Structure 1
Amino acid sequence: MRYAILGTTQAGRADGTPVALGGARLRALLTALALRPGRALPPEVLITDIWGADPPADAPGALQALVGRLRRALGHDAVASADGGYLLCAEPDAVDLHRFERLAAEGDRALGAGDPSRAAALLDEALALWRGPALADLPDAGARAVGAERRRLDARRTRHAAELALGRAEAALAPLHALCQEHPLDEPLQALRLRALRAAGRPAEALAAYEEIRTGLADRLGADPGPELRALHAELLSPPPAAGPPAGPPPA
């Protein structure tokens, strides 16, 4: 079985056949279990995940009924009882969130090791797993969804860095600009855009972009750009000298 929780919760068999999951509570139960595959979760944890602060009068009974329905949908062996709770019988890589995190980490390591082509391929595979907001069927995903979205942004930033390392700065500019508009206070992302503009031969645009970033940080945070952005700005103001004409032949 494969489980998808990066968007509306889905389940599919090994041959790609989708599994009908039914209502929102059933999808919430599967999301809660898929977040921690192979780990037994006590009923009180699952009840909180599924119903939040408004559980039904007989919450343990309602949970037991939901587990029965999920077993009928997925197969009885998919959800086991253990240590007084329930667990999803699956490896982490069977869940798209955990597969995304593994691929993104491998992509980051590949870029750090000087292999941007492999990094790009791994990160493309990781990012393609996203179909919508993380944990969309969990009523109160809270910090867990925020953390997943933050890791997605990290992966997108690293993917653009790989594009620059491959010498494709021009191709990276439009998506980088859009991402910077979504996250105007993300200084590493903004620095990446300045590098892309410089690499694409647009230093004047890079300087104008820096000024926009500086103004935005001052207006929103009352702060100046950090060291990385300031260093980039200094480099843009003092470009390396142009190469001189080739030296003539040595004297006879």
Structure 2
Amino acid sequence: MRYLILGSAEARDDDGNPLPLGGPRLRALLTALAMRAARPAPAPVDVLIDELWTDDPPQDAPAALQALVGRLRRAIGRDAVVSSPGGYRLATAGPQDVDLLHFEALTRNGTRALDAGDPGTAAEVLRQALALWRGPALADLPDRDAAAARPEALRMAALHRRIDADLALGRAADVIPELRGLVVDHTLDETFHAQLIRALHASGRTADALAAYET
């Protein structure tokens, strides 16, 4: 079983087939459980209630959560969600089973390769990491901003390092179009701006590099 939460939540069986999850509340529950899959402790009931219903929980919120867990079990498998004292967790979900955890592991490996002077491996591994994203992280949580801040920041860091790796490999001309778009989309990101200047200069476009520096 694989759980995808870098975008709208999905559960896929061992053959890669998506399982029907139903409505947004069920996808939010799967997201809340999957984002904690690496932790040994279960997700506490009160935390899950807060993440699923924010400021408007039902009158008997623990019972409503229990019913929702039952629906999730029917969707992805009875043994897929484990009840523990005080909370719930996904069964046997490791770094390879959750795209967010897989992304984090690949990003660490790619960063280590770049720091060790192996930009070829770094570029390949970081591309694999970034390809796991299908949309905004934790997209189905009703109030995702705080929880998604860390994975979104890691995504930007991975993109910075992947471009660093490409520049180290002499691919400056190849990354210029991408960097121009990133500078427009992330106007306050000084790293993308500096990388664009480096790429233009490395491509022999000194005048364009100077113009980019002055903007």
- Same-fold call, TM cutoff 0.5: yes
Equivalent of residue 61 in structure 1, options 53, 60, 63: 63
Assess if the C-alpha contact under 8 Å between 2:166 and 2:172 holds in 1: yes
1:209-228 mapped onto 2 (5 Å cutoff): 209-212=212-215
Gaps of 5+ in 1: 213-252
Instruction: Tell me the residue number matched to 2:42.
Output: 40
Structure 1 CA distance for aligned equivalents of residues 207 and 116 of structure 2:
32
Deviations 1:161-199 (A, max 9, x none): 111111110001000111111112222221111111110
Letter in 2 for 1:189: F
The answer to which structure, 1 or 2, has the higher relative contact order (CA under 8 A, 6+ apart) is: 2
TM (norm. structure 1) is 0.82
Structure 1 CA distance for aligned equivalents of residues 174 and 81 of structure 2:
46
Letter in 2 for 1:40: P
Instruction: Tell me the residue number matched to 1:124.
Output: 127
Residues 1:114 and 2:117 aligned together? yes
Instruction: Tell me the residue number matched to 1:9.
Output: 9
- Any runs of at least 4 consecutive aligned residues in structure 1 with deviations exceeding 2 A, and if so which? none
Aligned-residue offset at 1:42: 1.5
Structure 2 CA distance for aligned equivalents of residues 128 and 26 of structure 1:
25
Aligned-residue offset at 1:143: 1.7
Instruction: Tell me the residue number matched to 2:79.
Output: 77
Count of equivalent residues: 212
Structure 1 CA distance for aligned equivalents of residues 175 and 131 of structure 2:
17
1:83-162 mapped onto 2 (5 Å cutoff): 83-89=85-91, 90-162=93-165
Measured on the aligned residues, the alpha-carbon RMSD in Å equals: 1.1
Structure 2 CA distance for aligned equivalents of residues 92 and 71 of structure 1:
21
Structure 1 CA distance for aligned equivalents of residues 141 and 213 of structure 2:
39
Gaps of 5+ in 2: none
Residues 1:18 and 2:21 aligned together? no
Assess if the C-alpha contact under 8 Å between 1:39 and 1:88 holds in 2: no
Aligned-residue offset at 1:64: 0.4
Aligned-residue offset at 1:147: 2.0
Letter in 2 for 1:136: A
Structure 2 CA distance for aligned equivalents of residues 148 and 164 of structure 1:
24
Structure 1 CA distance for aligned equivalents of residues 202 and 115 of structure 2:
20
Asked which structure has the greater CA Rg, the reply is 1
Percent of matched pairs sharing the same residue: 58
